[in-house]
Structure 1
Amino acid sequence: MKNVGEAPREELAAGTRFEQKWDHSTRNRVARSILDHGPSTVADLAARLGLTQAAVRRHLDTLVSDRVVEARDKRVYGARGRGRPAKVFALTDCGRDAFDQSYDTLAADALRWIERTAGGGAAGEAAVAAFARDRMETQAESYRRAVEAAAPEERTEALAKALSADGYAATARSAPAPQRGEQLCQHHCPVAHVAEQYPQLCEAETEVFSRLLGTHVQRLATIAHGDGVCTTFIPRNDSTPHGKAPYNRPPRGSAPTHGTRQTTTPTASASTAGRNPA
Structure 2
Amino acid sequence: MGVRVSTKDKILELLKKETNLTVSQLSKFLGITEMAVRKHLTVLERDSLLTITEVRQPMGRPLQVYSLSSQADEMFPNSYETLAIEFLQDLQDLHGEEIIDLLLEKRSERQKNNYLPQMQNKNFAEKVHQLKEIQLKKGYMAELKKIDDNTYELIEFNCPIFTVAKQYKKACSCETNMFKNVLGTELVKRVTCKTDDEDHCRFLIKAH
**TM superposition score category, shorter chain reference:** 0.5 to 0.7
Mapped partners of 1:230, 1:23: distance in 2 = 29
- The one-letter amino acid paired with 1:156 is V
How many Å separate the matches in 1 of 2:36 and 2:150?
Answer: 47
Greater Cα shift, 149-158 or 188-197:
149-158
Give per-residue Cα distances to partners, 1:159-209, cap 9 Å, x unaligned: 011100101111222348xx9522222121111222111011111111111
Q: Identity of counterpart residues, as a percentage?
A: 23
Give aligned pairs, total: 151
Structure 1 gaps, min length 5 = 1-9, 30-96, 238-278
**Are 2:155 and 1:193 aligned?**
no
Name the Cα RMSD after superposition.
3.3
Aligned partner of residue 174 in structure 1, secondary structure:
strand
2:183 alignment partner in structure 1: 213
> Which residue matches 1:128?
100
What is the TM-score when the length of structure 2 is the normalising length?
0.59
The amino acid of 1:133's aligned partner reads E
Q: Looking at secondary structure, tell me which structure has more strand per residue.
A: 2
> In the alignment, residue 215 of structure 1 is paired with which amino acid?
T
The answer to whether the aligner puts 1:232 opposite 2:203 as a matched pair is yes
TM-score computed with the length of structure 1 as normaliser: 0.46
The structure number with the bigger radius of gyration is: 1
If each structure's helix is expressed as a fraction of its own residues, which one has the higher value?
2
Query: How far is 1:105 from its partner?
Result: 3.1
1:190 is paired with a residue of what secondary structure? coil
Partner of 2:199, secondary structure, is coil
Deviation at 1:224, TM superposition (A): 1.1
After the TM superposition, which segments of 4 or more aligned residues of structure 1 sit over 6 Å from their partners? 99-102
Contact 1:146 1:162 in 2 (8 A): no
CA deviation digits over 1:118-137, x for unaligned, max 9? 1x3xxx2x211111122233
Cα offset, 1:13, TM superposition:
4.2
Distance 1:195 1:108 in 2: 10
Q: Is the 8 A contact 2:101 2:170 kept in 1?
A: yes
CA displacement 1:206-239 (0-9 Å, x = unmatched) = 11111101111222221111112212222222xx
Query: Aligned partners of 1:145, 1:185: CA distance in 2, in Å?
Result: 23
Distance in 2 (CA, whole Å) between partners of 1:215 and 1:99 is 31
Shift of 1:152: 2.9
Name 1:223's counterpart in structure 2.
Answer: 194
Q: Relative contact order: is structure 1 or structure 2 higher (C-alpha 8 Å, sep ≥ 6)?
A: 2
Q: In structure 1, how many angstroms separate the alpha carbons of the residues matched to 2:75 and 2:39? A: 22
Deviation at 1:103, TM superposition (A): 4.5
Measure, in 2, the Cα distance between the counterparts of 1:161 and 1:105: 26
